[in-house]
Amino acid sequence: MVRKIMMLLVGVLAMCGLTGCGGSDSQEVIQPDVHTLSGKLTDGVKFEDSVEEISLERALKYYGIDSSMVSDGDVYMSTGATAEEMAVFEASSAGSASVIFDRLTVRRDDSVKMYIGSKPADVSRLDNAVLYIHDNFVVYVVSDDSGAALGIIKEYLE
């Protein structure tokens, strides 16, 4: 009888030990990263023209964004044959994110004016461009594949 009780006790202790190895219910929090998001977008969004990465310094000048507003960023632009481009910024603050969003909106609106008489397909792309802000992240994608871009952004940032 003592032997049965000892075996039962060993079994119960083993079960308790195994359940303790299962880990906790809390999940590791993953911090969003500009480069990971831009990689997901370049892999998952179809562009008609090839888009090439440009330096962050050049992009900030191009968009009229002060470097103090940006913690990090990745920008890709087409060869110029289309209006396609992609910009992913991590702003240094929520206020800076709002300013960056506004600058990208101006960029889109100026591009529409530029293409309206010559390239109606690009005007359509620009009208459907993704302009997205979440916390300190600001994303701008001009492509025929706006739905895919928005899905990737939301899945990664939210």
Q: What is the pLDDT of residues 58-111, one digit of tens each?
A: 999 999 999 999 999 999 999 888 999 999 999 999 999 999 999 999 999 999
Nearest CA to 99 out of 107, 91, 88 is that of: 91
Q: pTM (2 decimals)? A: 0.81
pLDDT one-digit tens code per residue, 8-39: 444 555 555 545 555 545 566 678 999 999 99
Is 148 strand, coil or helix? helix
Angle (nearest 5°) at CA 152 between 139 and 102: 15
